[in-house]
A and B are shown apart, each in its own frame.
Chain A
């Protein structure tokens, strides 16, 4: 209360000061007034650090092409969990449209919802017969994408995840395809026998 009264008094004095200044400088008066109007209510201790931020030059990310082979994903399964069906519906519409635009085959199904209920005592002390019940509803939506390359998967997932709404969780399961590694083609015992014979001879 005292601090507020004090700051009020300070602001009035500063306002009178600025009022005097405004008659003298016409160019900087508008910015000073704007600054003052912005900071009414803010504690005056931080007044000296106020500045207006100008946006920096944004460079677009460059498309790089590398020689290493792209990873292949047979299936990408995205499970989205939320408390609200309307939010899930909107998000599903967004994800499906994004996939169609990027040329990815997508299928959507809705796993059944899960409700977690708990019963607590209504009162702080005694009154065992009077309880209150809460529940937490988790609704699911499963998006299944088939046959993606690593680059497309990364792009799509980043786009989806950056636009994930508040209070919504996601689990992504990736099934990656890989060739047989070199060392599983042939058993090494024959090579070892050959090497031993060569070293002996």
Chain B
């Protein structure tokens, strides 16, 4: 007769021993019971855990033979004692942050370039993630050695990658297959931009007033109007011709110049207009 377990094996089978939990002391070393990530063993965990959706007028199922407890990842190998022990062993491999770089400003001053890279870990058929090769290089233009013309040219070359509010240039490289290649390309881009912006091409000399980014005071119509008005006042009062340098050198003229520049470059504002009014009044000795 075929049985599920033959009679010999049934006689020879050992009796199930009591679970290990009954022999565990309260102050045992738990890290030696669960040293690494292991599935939940109900006979080795002395906690009366219950898990599962109960039937009507019932309780959740006990831990023996409970599939829900097996499915969920357990952190029995990462008790605070075990974590502290691991960290004690790992401390030898760590280095300290240099004490001189305790504020953000100091970091900016000595290390102006910031490189952003990303790593991705997930379970799936492949370990690789194509987003991992992106490298973003951020640098503040104030920390680069640029003069006025170079800075304007660089901003024009770079276009959308420059943020005026934070004065930061962002270069995001993605075109190479490896992260190291993308990083090298980003540094190369920065070098090329820097050197190109210091160059002055021949055709840049034919820059007209319409191409200028900001309002320039020299040879502007406001300057000419001012000189003409003040010249006429001077001529009627003194009777002699006045030199432009003398007229512009006065404090009122300088203040008037500042107000006009502010209005043209930063836009009109109630406070700015009020300042302009004061400057004009002082210039014409009316206030």
Contacts and interface: CB of A to CB of B under 8 A. Distances in A.
Interface of A: 12, 15, 63, 70, 72, 74, 84, 86-87, 90-91, 94, 97-98, 101-103, 147-152, 155-156, 159, 161, 163-181, 183-189
Q: Indicate the member of A74, A150, A164, A188 with the most B CB atoms within 10 Å.
A: A74
Contacts of B92: 63
A152 B94 contact: yes
A178 B121 CA distance: 26
Contact of A188 (B75, B95, B150, B195): B195
Contacts of A70: 95
A164 B37 CA distance: 10
Given A169-B121, A184-B191, 16 more contacts: A15-B8, A70-B95, A94-B78, A147-B101, A149-B96, A152-B96, A155-B94, A163-B77, A171-B120, A175-B115, A176-B116, A179-B113, A181-B113, A187-B150, A187-B198, A189-B198
Interface string B80-119: 1001101110111111111001000001001111111111
B216 interface: no
B199 interface: yes
Main secondary structure of the interface of A (DSSP, over half): mixed
23 contacts: A72-B97, A72-B98, A97-B83, A101-B83, A101-B87, A151-B93, A155-B94, A159-B86, A163-B77, A165-B37, A166-B123, A167-B73, A169-B121, A169-B122, A171-B118, A171-B119, A177-B111, A178-B113, A181-B113, A184-B190, A188-B195, A189-B195, A189-B199
B271 to A, nearest CB: 38
Contact of B194 (A90, A159, A184): A184
B112 A180 contact: yes
Nearest to A174: B117
Nearest to B196: A187
A176 B110 contact: no
B45 to A, nearest CB: 15
Given A102-B94, A149-B96, A165-B73, A177 B195 contact: no
Given A94-B83, A175-B114, A181 B187 contact: yes
A96 to B, nearest CB: 10
Contacts of B190: 184
A101 B80 CA distance: 10
Contact of B72 (A12, A84, A94, A163): A84
Main secondary structure of the interface of B (DSSP, over half): mixed
A177 to B, nearest CB: 4
Contacts of A173: 116-118
B28 interface: no
Contacts of A186: 145
B176 interface: no
B49 interface: no
A104 to B, nearest CB: 9
Nearest to B199: A189
Q: Indicate the member of B110, B122, B191 with the most A CB atoms within 10 Å.
A: B122
B2 to A, nearest CB: 8
B52 to A, nearest CB: 15
Interface residues of B, number: 50
B143 interface: yes
Nearest to A90: B75
Nearest to A183: B191
B6 interface: yes
Contacts of B150: 187
B144 interface: yes
A178 B111 contact: yes
Interface in B182-206: 187, 190-191, 194-195, 198-199
Nearest to A80: B121
A191 to B, nearest CB: 11
A117 B269 CA distance: 51
A72 B96 CA distance: 10
Interface in B147-195: 150, 187, 190-191, 194-195
